[in-house]
A and B are shown apart, each in its own frame.
Chain A
Amino acid sequence: MTTPLVEVRDLVKHYRPAGWFNRNAPSIRAVEGVSLEVAPGETLGLVGESGSGKSTVGRAVLRLEVPTGGTIRFEGRDLADLSPAELRATRRRMQVIFQDPFGSLNPRRTIGASIAEGIEIHGLAPAAEIPARVDALLEEVGLDRNYRHRYPHEFSGGQQQRIGIARALAVEPAFIVCDEPVSALDVSIQAQVLNLLLDLRERHGLAYLFIAHDLAIVRRIADRVAVMYLGTIVETGPARTVISDPRHPYTRALVSAVPHPDPDRQGDRIVLEGEPPSPSAPPPGCPFAPRCFHSQRDRRCDQERPLLRMVEDRQVACHHEG
């Protein structure tokens, strides 16, 4: 395996409830020991339902959140060891695309100014060349260069997302966290933006951490996939095989929920019972145990947290797989 571009080890993120009246309330355990790697040019899909901690992982990888524990290395350097100025300089190499395309753009600045922001911050071009750079970026993401002087609200959601992508691209990053970049868009637009991300990956050799709750989308873009449940990774491996032949019960349930183009080949839908446990009071054993339907589910599942173990081509965190 090549040297990873991003290396996350045992990431933990707990949130203390805010406010004086909540000082004795338990912390919210958003992320409980996540390890992952992204190689240069590789796309890792991070899948899970709302509240599984996948977005928190994305934010912590970019050090937009300070982790409670664990290390994050980017290009071999521990982000926690960097001075504020060094960290800002490193941000040129790692970027982010947000779920909310409109909210991610400053409504009071022209989109040209927003796209130029990173170029200005890092002094990547003389002031005179910036307009030409912005034009080139607009064209690269499939927008008209005359749009430079317009404001975000004049664009559709898909166009706004393209603008957000152009802004991230402006600093020539090696790695982009895509935090549910298409889930706020119409289905017809989703495919276009997804194709754009695929093209850009090809052209610039980008690595993505692609966060999504939709396995069908992840299957299209990711080389490898990591499935999160309640702050932990329950299964990770090659996207193709994990999605076609899931092993962890939770992954099986997720995969069964993806509609198949051919209704005859659609397998039985596994409908999970109950809700995910509260992240402020996770179960002592396997986080999935309270909803698990595995035939061999036993007392051990309630008492002992399963660790990720190698099972054929992937890792699974289940006492009864492998």
Chain B
Amino acid sequence: MSIRHRLGVVLAFTVMLLAILGPLLTGDPTAQPDPVGGRLLAPSTAHWLGTDAFSRDVLSRLAHGARLSLLIAAIAMTTAGSIGVLFGVVAGGVRGLFGWTTSRAIDIALALPRIVVLLVVVAALGQITPVELGLVLGLTGWPSIARLVRGEALRLREETHVTAAVALGAPPARVIAREILPGTLPPALVAATLGVADVVLLEAGLGFLGIGVSPQLPTWGSMILQAQRHLAEAPWLLLAPGVALVVATAAATLLGDALRSRLAPGSR
């Protein structure tokens, strides 16, 4: 395992630790102990990352935000990954009308601009729970994975070991399940892991725009939205969720890369 990959694992572990243990060790992220005297406090021993405009503890909000972000990302990428692999393998592996139709469905889904669809759907639904947001992000994120998997499946379909399986008398479903599908999973898993970075950023973007989950919930996006109003007086408000975003995104990217090299036997 290379240094980059180790770093990815360490970063991912850090973010997960923050998401799992952080909320247990820090206080209530919505508590406003002193809305008059305790607002916009600089980092100190009492508040490691300072307080925000409502005197809420930034570290506590960051930790709860990590939990929310990871929950949303996990739901989104599981949804997008499953649908994407299913559509992609059918589009690339199945010959005839069924495969062709699936392929065109992917093309149509790809042609829809994700951010516009997201804005419309989230605006139409109004305020939604994090789980619902995860599902919506997943349902808009699958086409890119499907495209990748379709390409992989089309390439694999021409490989000699697929012909060998056909020549052995394997029925089409078995050929797809044994010879084509397994080969598409590593790139799909890598894409889904990289997609976590996208989803974390998208969720932050939606939070920044003030739509999606309730602004009361401490998401990184809503933290950044609120921080920008006090950028001059309290830059740590922006720094904390900003750095967390970068770390989480880098962790997902490096982890995806590490997975890629682990999942390809004989490729190195």
A231-245 residues at the B interface, CB under 8 angstroms: none
Query: Could you say which of B167, B179, B182 contacts A91, with CB atoms under 8 Å apart?
Result: B167
Q: Which residues of B contact A91 (CB under 8 A)?
A: 167-169
CB closest chain-A residue, reference B171 = A88
A153 vs B264: C-alpha distance in the bound complex, in angstroms? 11
Is B167 a contact of A64 with CB atoms below 8 Å? yes
**Chain A nearest Cβ from B241, distance in angstroms:** 40
A 107-126 binary contact with B (CB < 8 Å = 1; else 0): 11100001001100110000
Complex-state Cα separation, A106 to B169, whole angstroms: 16
Distance, CA A98 to CA B162, complexed state (A): 12
Question: Roughly how many angstroms separate A114 CA and B161 CA in the complex, as a whole number?
Answer: 9
Q: How far is B164's CA from A100's CA once the two chains are assembled, in angstroms?
A: 11
B265 touches A117 (CB 8 A): no
Q: Does B105 contact A (CB under 8 A)?
A: no
CB-contacts of B128-170 with A (<8 A):
159-161, 163-170
The reply to whether B266 and A107 form a contact with Cβ atoms under 8 Å apart is: yes
Which residue of the partner chain, among A95, A103, A118, A121, contacts B159 with CB atoms under 8 Å? A103
Question: 0/1 per residue, B165-205, Cβ < 8 Å to A?
Answer: 11111110010001100110000000000000000000000
Q: Is the CB of A106 within 8 A of B161?
A: yes
Alpha-carbon gap, A225 to B136, bound state (A): 65
Instruction: Give min CB distance, B149 to chain A, whole Å.
Output: 15
- On whether the beta carbons of B167 and A62 are closer than 8 Å, the reply is yes
Please name all residues of chain A whose beta carbon is closer than 8 Å to the beta carbon of B182 when the two chains form the complex. 106, 108-109
- Most-contacted residue by chain A among B166, B167, B170, B266 (CB, 10 A): B167
A171 near B161: Cβ-Cβ < 8 Å: no
Q: How extensive is the interface on chain B, given as a class?
A: 10 to 19
State the Cβ distance, B167 to closest chain A Cβ, in Å.
Answer: 5
Q: Are B179 and A121 in contact, CB atoms less than 8 angstroms apart? A: no
Interface pair B265/A107, CB less than 8 Å apart = yes
Chain B, 224-268, contact with A by CB distance < 8 Å: what is the 0/1 string? Answer: 000000000000000000000000000000000000000001100
Residue contact B167 to A117, C-beta cutoff 8 Å? no
Q: Is the beta-carbon distance between B169 and A121 smaller than 8 angstroms? A: yes
How far does the alpha carbon of A152 sit from the alpha carbon of B160 in the complex, in Å?
13
Q: In the complex, A62→B167 CA distance in Å?
A: 7
Q: Which residue of B lies closest to A85 (CB)?
A: B171
Q: How many chain-A residues does the 8 Å CB contact rule pick out?
A: 30
Contacts of A108 in B (CB 8 A): 182-183, 265
A114–B164 alpha-carbon span in the complex (Å): 10
In the bound complex, residues from chain A placing their C-beta under 8 Å from that of B174 are 121
Q: Say yes or no for A201: interface residue by CB 8 A criterion.
A: no
Contacting pair A153 B166 (CB below 8 A):
no
B-contacting residues, A147-195, CB 8 Å: 151-154, 164, 167, 171
Residues of A with C-beta under 8 A to B170: 88, 117, 121
List chain B residues, Cβ under 8 A from A62: 167
Minimal beta-carbon separation of B266 from chain A (angstroms): 3
Check B266–A118 contact: CB distance below 8 A.
no
Contact of A171 among B166, B168, B171, B179 (CB under 8 A): B168
Alpha-carbon gap, A154 to B159, bound state (A): 19
Check A105 for interface membership: any CB of B closer than 8 A.
yes
Does any Cβ of B come within 8 Å of A104's Cβ? yes
Contacting pair A151 B265 (CB below 8 A): yes
Give the complex CA separation of A243 and B160 in angstroms: 32
Contact check, B164 vs A98: say whether CB atoms are below 8 A apart: yes
Cα(A167)–Cα(B171), bound, Å: 17
Contact between B167 and A106 (Cβ–Cβ < 8 Å)? no
Does A96 touch B at the CB level, under 8 Å?
yes
Most buried by A among B171, B179, B182, B266: B266
Inside 8 A of A107's CB, which chain B residues have their CB? 161, 265-266
The answer to the question of A272 belonging to the interface, with a C-beta cut-off of 8 Å to chain B, is no
Measured between C-beta atoms, what is the minimum distance from B188 to chain A in Å?
14
What 17 new A-B contacts, CB under 8 Å, besides A98-B160, A104-B163? Answer: A64-B166, A88-B169, A91-B168, A95-B168, A96-B163, A103-B160, A105-B161, A106-B182, A107-B161, A107-B265, A108-B182, A114-B161, A121-B174, A153-B266, A154-B266, A164-B164, A171-B168
- List 8 A-B pairs, minimum CB-CB distance, nearest first: A153-B266, A91-B169, A88-B169, A103-B160, A104-B160, A106-B161, A118-B168, A96-B167
Q: Would you mind naming 15 contact pairs between A and B with Cβ atoms under 8 Å apart?
A: A62-B167, A64-B163, A88-B170, A95-B167, A98-B163, A104-B161, A104-B164, A106-B179, A109-B178, A109-B182, A117-B165, A117-B170, A121-B169, A121-B174, A167-B164
Q: Which residues of B contact A (CB under 8 A)?
A: 159-161, 163-171, 174, 178-179, 182-183, 265-266
